Chains A and B, each alone.
Chain A
Amino acid sequence: MKLNLTRRDVLKFGGGAAVGVALTPAPWKTLDDVAIWSQNWSWIPRPPQGPSSIHDTTCALCTAGCAAQARCIGTLPVSMRTANEAAPLCPLGLTAHHLPYHPARIARSFRVIRAEDGIRRIPVPLDTVISAAVTAMAGARGTTASVAVLDTRPGRSTSWAWQRLLGGIPNGIYIPAPGREGANLTSLREIIGSGDAIGFDLENVRTILSFRAPIASGWGSRRMNEAIRDGKVRLIQVDAVRTQTADIAQRWLPAKPGSEAALAYGIANVLMSGNAATPDSTYASYTAEAVAAISGVPGDAIVATARELAENGPALVVMDEGFGRQTEDAIHGLNVMLRNAAIVPRAELPAPYADATLAPVAEMDRVPDGSIAALIVDASAGDVRFPWPVVRRKLRKDAVVIAIAPFFAASVQRADYVVPALTALETISELPTPFDAPAARLSIAPALLAPRHEAVDPAAFVRAIARAAHLELPGDWSKSEELTRARVAAIHSDRIGSVTARDGSSKKVTEFASADELWDALTKGGVWNGDTAARSFRAKPRPAISNMKTSPPLVALVRTPRDVTASAAVSPVMTKLYQESGLRRPVHAATVNPVTANQLKLANGAKATLRTEAGAAGVVIVTDHAVMPGVVEVTAAPDAIALGEPANGSGAGIIDLFAPDANGAWRIAAARLVEA
């Protein structure tokens, strides 16, 4: 039989076969296999493999020094976890092991050349940087100009080394970073005329009046938050925004930004009116009604707050940074008036070497404008976010700025010369007394990871500058670890305080046979606590401000959350909070009340320009009823560089729109917001 194969037959066969195959498992199996193969491409990252171990350490990213445990695979830390539930790790601490690999790491020393299209980094040997520093120091000699070190982590042994180096130079000034936590306590020390450091006895506080201090989001411990939630501690929060802290507070006083001093005087007036023994007319004009008109806080709430402070003591008055001296004086005046038993003087940590030739310490706002010829920024141990104009106005036009830091991000980008430093986990980190501790404290985080880059030890940098400038420094040390060991030896020889081990046991310093034994205890997670010497103080508040300010129509307010601004760079997985969810406002968000947005004819999500006296920046409008009408809230959130995007920024951030006023206040600024 002859087979007549027609074109139609071929097409029928092909079509039938195609339909038939589709009905078999073959295509689905192929798809399935492709799905499996595509899970295993060579470029898919592979986690490290090896033996697992747990190491006790201390989070060194901010000054709190929370106890932590690092899980390591071989010698590589792969996770961080809380070791003390009373002081849990924040998102920054939980991701600390990512930071050594951050794209913003500085691999070698370089000079920064600024051009219109951005900045260029020209690699230079370390000797060139040291020569630049020494030349600037020599240039300042015989003039009124000063040589300054700005330290973002004061209190370390290396801080002492800087102070000692500057002590050998005419006009040397040591400046703790502006905006750091506890900077405002300088005003309190000046009021009470005390040279002692000041801490808080939070264990015994019953009422806290907080002027914008972020107690629930970074500043307070878990125990404090629980005490507030359980009503054991009463929290009164003053803030123009309903923040997380305002949410847990028993009372929220929504005061207009800039009216905090008047509010403090209003509370002081009520306190004084109840004290017939010491009448004071200074505050007489700050009646509850007058202050209510300025601040927007109802008069009866002002009276009730004052009564609560007086009757439910010990009461503590705290504040965020950047309010400026006048407001700091007014607010700390309340602490003085309350004869505050919750504020305790404390001893400083022993210096590594006994030597009196230390440079004077000055807050940045006390330094004369245009007086600094050379500024060395030591950001090797962490960062503090402050507006660069705070520093810029203090610099001479030809000033040289040198920075030593692990990341080329935030204010380090403003430097002329940059020197690489190691990150936490790569080097031993010293954690000196946190600003709020009632007694001196020291903990030490051991190095867990081999350094990935050639870096300069900050103490070695001090030593190299001293050598080049022909300055003698006491002691035989060449790196930070040796200086810290000298400090531990000083603690051991002073025979004061005790060490609390990770298991909760305590051992007096006198029980340690040698300084090496004490060092071992500290590097294994132990915390040294000095002795407390609580005493109350007596002093008079400073004179009141002469006039009551009224707020401008639109006020911009900047936040600097500790758990992201303590490091110039953060883990890239922080995008989960800032970019991939609406949990935290990104750096370009300007949050306003919908009423304000309507008045300005700006819709939610609109692009706008935020303008202050110091400059302008592009923002995206976010409307939120939590913000007081007439206020624009912005956050010094991590920018693209800080989050790990390769970029070439100038270092200018939204925080730089907040130039300081004559009092050093920079947290708020009169602003304009217009559609872009």
Chain B
Amino acid sequence: MSTEIKPKSRFGMVIDLDRCNGCGACAAACAVENNVPPARAKVNDRTGLTWMRVYRAVNGKPFPDNRAVYFPISCQHCGEHTPCVSVCPQNAVDVNPETGVVSQIPVRCLGCRYCMAACPFHARYFNWYDPEWPHEMENALNPDVSVRMRGVVEKCNFCHSRWQAAVAKAAAAGNKEIDPADYVPACVEACPEKAIVFGNLDDPKSEVAKQSKAPNAFRLLAKLGTDPKVTYRSDREWVRRLGDTDVARTESEASRG
């Protein structure tokens, strides 16, 4: 099923894999910004909540020719045949007509997890447990994002609250359009290597639009035709080839081959 909405803007990001050093600042910043709770003791890499997860992939060669690359993978915000939108029986997955961002509406979600099964990028996570922070640490939560209850699916929404704040700021200043500098997702802001560029893909002057068309740019599982709004870059051919494979695998899955 095609996503029939033609959004006014198409926000997306380009991630330069040759700059990413796998520090995990994006994942930590994302969890802080979006009030993603820490894991309980029994949680593992299959049951965890990581809206932005950094996968380590290797070239498969033995020591000392082994090389690694870090793939930060969040929701790819598919623009065509968005699988999670198609399968949701509750209309809990929505494409924002203003931004093109694929959003999860937790209050509508029943937790059937069809969307998780449908997502080819494994970028959706199920809330197996009540969200819980250590005593009083809720005082350090972000007031702009509500905490989700257990039993629902959640995922990256390109820091929707920051977009809302940017819209409010523009409106207060009497502008219809937001200042691009006011809408920067937490992972982009936190990346110490400036490996992530974010902006409106439909604005040909934007850095993200230019970089998404770079000769070394590629998208994950492009053959599926879901038109992801997240593009990756690498000068290394073996890394670009990984884009056609299932990179988003846990370490134990990857080790099984």
Contacts and interface: CB of A to CB of B under 8 A. Distances in A.
A97 B136 CA distance: 12
B245 interface: no
Interface in B48-100: 48-50, 53-56, 58, 60-64, 66-68, 70, 90
Contacts of B64: 242, 252, 254, 628
Contact of B140 (A97, A581, A584): A97
Contacts, number: 240
Given A35-B108, A38-B151, A583-B54, A626 B66 contact: yes
Contacts of A103: 134-135
B134 A572 contact: yes
Interface string A559-589: 0000100000001111111011111100000
Contact of A48 (B90, B109, B111, B141): B141
Contacts of A90: 23, 25, 192
A1 interface: no
B24 A47 contact: no
Contacts of A41: 149
Given A35-B108, A46-B147, A573 B19 contact: no
A94 interface: yes
A217 B63 contact: no
A576 B63 contact: no
B90 A580 contact: no
A582 B45 contact: yes
Contact of B139 (A48, A89, A580, A623): A48
A241 to B, nearest CB: 9
Contacts of B142: 47, 78-79
Given A45-B141, A103-B134, A452-B136, A595 B23 contact: no
The secondary structure that dominates the B interface is: loop
B133 interface: yes
Interface string A77-101: 1111110010011110011011011
A577 B139 CA distance: 23
Interface stretch (B32-40, B169-177, B204-212): B32-40
Contact of B67 (A88, A242, A645): A242
Given A45-B132, A79-B142, A252-B64, A573 B24 contact: no
Given A79-B33, A626-B68, A581 B48 contact: yes
Contact of B22 (A50, A102, A225, A244): A244
Size range of the chain B interface in the assembly:
35 or more
A97 B41 CA distance: 22
Contacts of A81: 189-190
A73 B146 CA distance: 15
Interface in B10-44: 18-19, 21-25, 27-33, 35-39, 41, 43-44
A94 B190 contact: yes
A36 B106 CA distance: 8
B194 interface: yes
B148 A39 contact: yes
A583 B39 contact: no
Most buried by A among B44, B55, B140: B140
B28 A91 contact: yes
B193 interface: yes
A622 B250 CA distance: 13
Contacts of A52: 143
A222 B192 CA distance: 7
Nearest to B110: A35
A574 B36 CA distance: 11
B48 A101 contact: no
Contacts of A31: 110
Contacts of A80: 32
Given A222-B192, A575-B38, A242 B28 contact: no
A463 to B, nearest CB: 31
Contact of A39 (B30, B35, B107): B107
Nearest to A242: B66
B120 interface: no
A229 interface: yes
B140 A101 contact: yes
B214 interface: no
Contacts of A36: 107-108
A49 B141 CA distance: 10
B48 A644 contact: no
A473 interface: no
A625 B61 contact: yes
B161 to A, nearest CB: 11
Nearest to A244: B21
A394 B142 CA distance: 47
Given A35-B107, A244-B21, A582 B56 contact: yes
Contacts of B1: none
A495 B115 CA distance: 65
B27 A101 contact: no
Interface in A487-543: none
A583 B24 contact: yes
B144 to A, nearest CB: 8
A645 B42 CA distance: 11
A90 B64 CA distance: 29
Contacts of B139: 48, 76, 101
Contact of A78 (B37, B140, B149): B140
B48 A573 contact: no
Size range of the chain A interface in the assembly:
35 or more
A152 interface: no
B245 to A, nearest CB: 17
A216 interface: yes
B131 to A, nearest CB: 6
A623 to B, nearest CB: 7
Nearest to A643: B38
Most buried by B among A78, A89, A244: A78
A627 interface: yes
A98 B137 contact: yes
A44 B109 contact: no
B138 A46 contact: yes
Contact of A94 (B28, B49, B90): B28
A77 to B, nearest CB: 7
Given A103-B134, A217-B23, A627-B63, A44 B141 contact: no
Contacts of A48: 138-139, 141, 143
A624 B252 CA distance: 12
Contacts of B152: 35, 39
Contact of B38 (A94, A248, A572, A604): A572
B48 to A, nearest CB: 3
Given A44-B149, A48-B139, A573 B38 contact: yes
Most buried by A among B63, B145, B252: B63
A238 to B, nearest CB: 13
A627 B62 CA distance: 9
A50 B30 CA distance: 22
A626 B60 CA distance: 10
Most buried by B among A452, A576, A626: A576
B179 interface: no
A582 B250 contact: yes
Contacts of A623: 255
B29 A35 contact: no
Interface string A616-644: 00000011111111000000000010011
B251 interface: yes
Nearest to B190: A94
A43 B38 contact: no
Given A32-B90, A94-B28, A45 B192 contact: no
19 contacts: A35-B111, A36-B108, A39-B107, A39-B152, A46-B147, A47-B144, A48-B138, A78-B140, A91-B29, A94-B32, A225-B21, A575-B39, A576-B48, A579-B48, A581-B48, A582-B56, A582-B252, A583-B56, A593-B63
| The 9 A-B residue pairs with the shortest CB-CB distance in the complex, in nearest-first order | A580-B48, A582-B251, A572-B38, A88-B192, A47-B141, A625-B66, A91-B28, A575-B39, A45-B138
Given A225-B193, A583-B54, 8 more contacts: A36-B108, A44-B130, A48-B139, A79-B142, A94-B32, A95-B32, A100-B140, A580-B39
